[in-house]
Amino acid sequence: MKHPLLLFAALVLTLHCHSSAGPTTIIPAFYFWQTDSDYISRNFVEKLGVQKIFLRLFDVAWDGQKPIPAGPYRGVFSYTGIEMVPVVFITNETIQHIDSSGCLDLATRISRKSKAMLRRMESSLRTSNRWDLVFADSALSETQREDSLVRSGNAWLRNIRHFQIDCDWTASTRARYFYLLEQLQALNPEWTFSATIRLHQYKNPEKTGVPPVKSGMLMCYNVDDLKDQGTENSIFNYSEVRKYLQNAPKYPIPLDVALPAFRWGVLFHLNQFQCIIPDNALGPATMERLEAIDKTHFRARMDFTLNDHFIREGDILRLESADQKELLKTIQLLRSQSLAQPLTVSFFHLNSNLDEDAAIPQFQEILTAFN
């Protein structure tokens, strides 16, 4: 039998290691990936204590000849007391087709468009708040109220200090992509840039490199081949995530974490991938036309049209979402990685299909598990 003092020392060491492994402060966050602001639930973000929203401004795609902006955000960011982090997604195909001068030009264009969009959002926010202020019971004149709105709007714009670039770069595009990041930071010294890190980039930094930014966002979802009918769950699968996280070398920059909070259907016809069916199209009326094969696979019982897609009798629909228990197991792996202090835990993504009453306890359980 071990000496009691040795047992006590071992217990203290275990508790010390456990407490030091987890971050002391968790910052709850969400991604907002829609093109408008049709979903604004102040009650939801307040109950969960959300402190940041990563708002996608636009994508950069390759049109065959040049980079072009796509899917710009058209809404107004009206959450008060929550930090907004602008995000721009750049396709790896775009990086493949530009040289160093093209990177500098693209950095300039991204900077200009982002600032123009943020200015438009600030102006729209000021306009949307104008009437409440104009008709408020106040001794201020209308001119004074307008001046107050301008000052508050400009202050909102100045509070943006963090900007994120999202790109699934590869070993062949790393040099150009990293140069693009350097140019963006040089053009925008008022912002601190971060970059998203896919699991394959995290696992193999010697091949894909480490982006020249202060921090990264480790994207723990979309882990398997979506188009393979044999894939169990392309959104999230613990056994797949573990392959990347277990025994991985310490990443050179601090990492925040992004976890999935969405679901979709993946449609197959004759074993061939057809399309993704969004969550909002998977209601009771749709499910009545399907027969269950198992918990996640369903077969069409008839021909019908769904979300502008023609579904034939016998087609297979795979329903995908993240399992809560698997997420909690993954967090135990994440706690031993090079996580940021404090740690931002961001869920992808904020949308109208979240069942707030059911989702809040699950999100809270995940956030608590990081400590």
Query: Over the stretch 256-296, which tens digit does the pLDDT of each residue have?
Result: 999 999 999 999 999 999 999 999 899 999 999 999 999 99
Same structural domain for residues 313 and 227? no
Do 77 and 184 belong to one domain?
A: yes
- Beta-carbon contacts of 182 under 8 Å, excluding residues fewer than 6 positions away, are 212
What number of other Cβ atoms are within 10 A of residue 331's Cβ? 21
Asked, for residue 281, whether it belongs to a domain, the answer is yes
Residue that finishes a domain, picked among 293, 319, 345: 319
Q: Are residues 200 and 276 in the same domain?
A: no
In this prediction, residue 357 carries a pLDDT of 76
Decide: 234 and 322 in contact? Cβ < 8 Å: no
Q: Are residues 201 and 296 in the same domain?
A: no
Confirm whether 73 is domain-assigned. yes
Tokens standing for residue 160: 């943006």
Q: Is residue 6 part of a domain?
A: no
- 85 located within any domain: yes
Identify whether residues 210 and 313 lie together within a single domain. Answer: no
Per-residue pLDDT at 125: 74
**Is 121 in the same domain as 157?**
yes
Q: Which of 319, 338, 356 is the last residue of a domain?
A: 319
306 with 361, same domain: the answer is no
Residue 5 belongs to some domain of the structure: no
Name the β-bridge partners of 305: 310
2 assigned to some structural domain: no
Please check whether residues 209 and 270 belong to one and the same domain. Answer: no
Between CA 234 and CA 229 the distance in angstroms is 10
Do residues 92 and 170 lie in contact, with contact meaning Cβ atoms separated by under 8 Å? yes
Instruction: Transcribe 83-111 into DSSP letters.
Output: EEEEEEEE-HHHHHT--HHHHHHHHHHHH
Helix, strand and coil percent figures for the chain, each rounded to 5: 40, 25, 35
> Where residue 162 sits, what CATH number does that domain have?
3.20.20
pLDDT tens digits for the chain (371 residues)?
A: 444 444 333 433 333 334 445 556 999 999 999 888 755 567 888 889 999 999 999 999 999 999 999 999 998 887 878 999 999 999 999 999 999 999 999 999 999 999 999 988 888 777 766 555 555 545 666 666 556 556 655 677 788 999 999 999 999 999 999 999 999 999 999 999 999 999 999 999 999 999 999 999 999 999 999 999 999 999 999 999 999 999 888 999 999 999 999 999 999 999 999 999 999 899 999 999 999 999 999 999 999 999 888 999 999 999 999 999 999 999 999 998 889 999 999 999 988 777 777 889 999 999 999 98
Tokens of 359: 């989702």
Per-residue confidence (pLDDT) for residue 149, from 0 to 100: 58
Question: Residue 135: what pLDDT?
Answer: 53
Does residue 287 lie within any of the structural domains?
A: yes
The per-residue pLDDT for 358 is 82
Same domain (yes/no): 83, 113: yes
Q: Looking at the domain assignment, is residue 301 inside a domain?
A: yes
Domain count, the chain: 2
Q: 153 and 278: one domain?
A: no
CA–centroid distance for 89 within its chain: 11
**Burial grade of 213 (CB within 10 A; 0-12, 13-18, 19 or more):** buried
Residue that terminates a domain, selected from 277, 303, 319: 319
Q: What is the pLDDT of residue 11?
A: 35
227 and 252, same structural domain? yes
Do residues 35 and 72 touch, judged by C-beta distance below 8 A?
A: yes
pLDDT for res 43 = 80
Model pTM? 0.87
Residue 210 lies in domain = 23-261+321-369
Packed helices 324-334 and 238-245: angle between N→C axes, nearest 10 degrees: 10
Question: pLDDT value at position 76?
Answer: 84
Nearest to 97 by CA among 58, 56, 68, 59: 68
Whether residue 86 is found in the same domain as residue 56: yes
